Structure 1
Amino acid sequence: MEELMEVLSALKPEIDFTKETELIDEGLLESFDVITLIAELEDQFGVEIPAEEIVPENFNSAEGIWRLLERMKEEA
């Protein structure tokens, strides 16, 4: 999780990812941010995130992103 927080903070240092739970719904992460984040996550964690997993529920919070990563690692 610490590694994820570093990736998120590098992407958007002005956001407190420990508290935000509506990153997509409130427009804190825009589509370009999500695409950049996905590329970074795939590189950093050695996973592939399929298009059908790119939904707001998976990217609204750091916790949601972490659960997605855990799932992708299990399926790899």
Structure 2
Amino acid sequence: MEQIKNNIIDYLKNNSFMEREMTLNDSDSLTQSGIIDSIGLLELIDYICETYSIEIPEDMLTPENFDSLQGITNLITRLAK
């Protein structure tokens, strides 16, 4: 799970969503902290689907699953089994 979190953080930093020196806690809101907007979220979802070879069901496209590192990591872990 730690590797998934690191991959997501690297993606966010490499694609200019957040500063290189910025730290992000597992439960920090990506939207409320201004890291990601709706377009960025769509790009992140594409990245996750491609990187982990998963399809995300429409009913799982919720704020709980995509607004924090913990939510994203839990979602990927559930779907990648």
Q: Which category describes the TM-score, using the shorter chain as reference length?
A: 0.7 to 0.9
Quote the Cα distance in structure 1 between the aligned partners of 2:4 and 2:30: 18
The 3-state SS of whatever aligns with 2:80 is helix
Quote the Cα distance in structure 2 between the aligned partners of 1:46 and 1:58: 17
5+ residue gaps, structure 2: none
Identity of aligned residues (%): 26
Instruction: For 1:58-69, list aligned pairs within 5 A.
Output: 58-69=65-76
Count of aligned residue pairs for this structure pair:
74
The 3-state SS of whatever aligns with 1:49 is coil
Task: Please report the TM-score for the alignment, with normalisation by the length of structure 2.
Answer: 0.71
Aligned alpha-carbon RMSD (Å): 2.1
2:43 corresponds, among 36, 40, 44, to 36
**Which residue in the other structure is 1:6 paired with?**
7
User: Does the Cα contact within 8 Å between 2:30 and 2:68 map onto a contact in 1?
Assistant: yes
TM-fit CA distance, 1:52: 1.7
